[in-house]
Amino acid sequence: MSIKERAIETLDIEGKAVLALKDRIGDEFVAAVNCILKCPARVVVTGMGKSGHVGRKIAATLASTGTPSFFLHPAEAFHGDLGMVTENDVVIAISNSGESTEIVNILPIIRRIGATIIAMSGRRESQLGKFCDYFIDISVEREACPLGLAPTASTTATLAMGDAIAMALMSERNFTSQDFAMFHPGGALGRRLLLKVENVMHTGKDNPLIHCGKTVKDALFVMTDKGLGAVSVVDDEGKFVGLITDGIIRRALAKDYKFLDEAVEKIMFTEPLTIAPQQMAAAALSVMEKHKPRPVTVLPVIDEKGVPVGIVHLTDLLRQGVV
């Protein structure tokens, strides 16, 4: 068999193994998921060898999608780490054969502690299958390994079933993208979903402001000093009335220089795009990008009283990884 043929055969075998799991999603699977939903503590995932590697991933997926979970190495568990398991926990024990010595050895102690045991195994008649409270069948017809020895289709099926459990739990918990971001604050997704305009805007002395009675020349000085290419225009009460940008000034300069001594209110945008400080930074980016006929690079940040409390620039969003 050629390299290409072997690779295709492997994918065929593993694909069929995963699809075969659909027929195993029955009442016992639902009962196991409901058991986890009602669990007041943590889900403890354990497995040895390749099952352990898959178990670590399942535990990580559960934890990041709203189900408190951690991985417990069965060998370390037998030497003290079982102290991490409580009677309120749910233990997911993974063993394709259901006879892994390290798993079988800790089952009586877990039962004595009082934790609920969910077995993910390929053999219900195994010791693990007989000892558990809930059994989830992950058996496969054959491994993709040509020798039938290396765990291949069985580990893929286990991982897929773990994802099925996690996604079912996620759905039942009404887990949102905001919840997901809460557990991933350091990633790009977290920044997009958690970062607000008020977290990235220029405010205080860095917020370019000018009174509507001041001249365009004065506005140009403020714009140059702040380096943001725009200045928010306010009235006597400090309320936002418009925006003047370097683009407006450039277009006016193409005609003459007399406007420099005129009041900014005569050439400012009176209805520019703005955004509120509580809105998401990603929303600010969307507003900038969708402006027609061309995107804008700055947005005045206006509070509920109509006061320009800041200004956000495209480079601020780029720097924070919102893009």
Which residues line the annotated binding site for Zn(2+)? Answer: 73
Q: Does the CA dihedral 54-60-62-68 come out positive or negative?
A: positive
First to last CA, the chain: 47
Q: Is 211 helix (H, G, I), strand (E, B) or coil?
A: strand
126: left (phi over 0), alpha (psi -120 to 50) or beta: beta
* Residue 308 · residue 188 · CB < 8 Å: no
Alpha carbon separation from 198 to 31, 159, 284, 304, 312 (Å, rounded): 45, 41, 11, 13, 9
Q: Does the CA dihedral 75-67-14-99 come out positive or negative?
A: positive
Alpha helices in the chain (DSSP H): 3-20, 27-38, 50-64, 74-77, 101-113, 127-131, 153-172, 177-182, 188-194, 197-200, 216-226, 246-253, 281-290, 314-319
Which parts are annotated binding residues? 73
Q: Which residues contact 46 (CB under 8 A, 6 or more apart)?
A: 52, 55, 71, 72, 73, 74, 77, 91, 92, 93, 94, 103, 106
Angle formed by the axes of helices 27-38 and 153-172, to 10°?
60
